[in-house]
Structure formats: C-alpha cells, structure tokens
Amino acid sequence: MGIRTARAEEARAVLAFWAEAAEGTSITDDVAGVTRLIKRDPEALILAEWDGVLVGSVIAGYDGWRCSLYRLAVLPAYRRRGVATALLEAAEARFLAAGGRRGDAMVLEANERAQHAWAAAGYRREDHWRRWVKPYPWPVKGD
C-alpha cells in the first residue's frame, strides 16, 4: 500500500471513489471543489493506493489554528487492512509537523461504523458542540 497526496487531475477519480466508499455528500463534491482544495493546499487530500487502485482517502486540512479531518473513507473490500490507520498516521504527521495541537473529525451522526473507527484511533466524541452551516451562492466570483 502506498500513501500520497492527490493531484488536481485526479478530481474525477476521487469523486468516483467517494461515491463508492464514502457516506453522504457535500456541496463541494464536484470537480471544481476538489480541484480548488488541491490547488489551495496540495498536501491536504491524502490518498491510499493498493496495487495501483485508489482504496482510501482523508482530507487533512490545517489553517494554522485547527487540524480538521474529513472524508476518511476506505473501499469496502479493503476495510480492516490498516488503510484508515495509515491515512490517519499520514494526516497526523502532517499536523504535528505544522504545529497542530488537536485533530477534529467530521463524522456523520448515523455512521456508526465510522464512529467506532474514530474511537479506535483515539478520537472522542464531544457532544457539547454542534455544526452550524450556511451554503454560499455558486459560482464563487473568480471561478
């Protein structure tokens, strides 16, 4: 298995992977959103490959203040083989090298399998927080 960062030209492949391996969707789940992420922060989207097949992903976003984890996903046929562990180790190494002090993971409330995986990786749920969102108009000026 290999761990590496994504390239902008892989946006469609990443979206196809997420459609098969990830739970839920986001307003930024399109080629423009993934490409923008990679161009803005080339180290944020970390991929796992097994014999040339994309089998896992995690977004490890760091803004200088918070270490945010999104889209930890593994193809069903490759789960329980250490893929998620390797992805999280790469994400955490990135955060530590940048001076990050705590990782925050976005986990769907209904995704019990993911909640167990995050707990096994040493993360704990904080029930006193709630996510507040506001979608912005699209397209964004300059796109």
Contact in structure between 95 and 67 (CB atoms under 8 Å): yes
Percent of the chain with pLDDT over 90: 77
Q: What pTM value is reported for the model?
A: 0.90
Residue 125's pLDDT band, with cuts at 50, 70 and 90, is very high
Q: Which domains are seen in the chain, by residue range?
A: 2-120 (3.40.630.30)
Q: Which is more confidently placed, 142 or 45? A: 45
Long-range CB contacts for residues 129-132, cutoff 8 Å, separation at least 24: 131/106
Q: Measure the CA–CA gap between 114 and 86, rounded to whole angstroms.
A: 15
Here the tokens at position 137 are: 């108009």
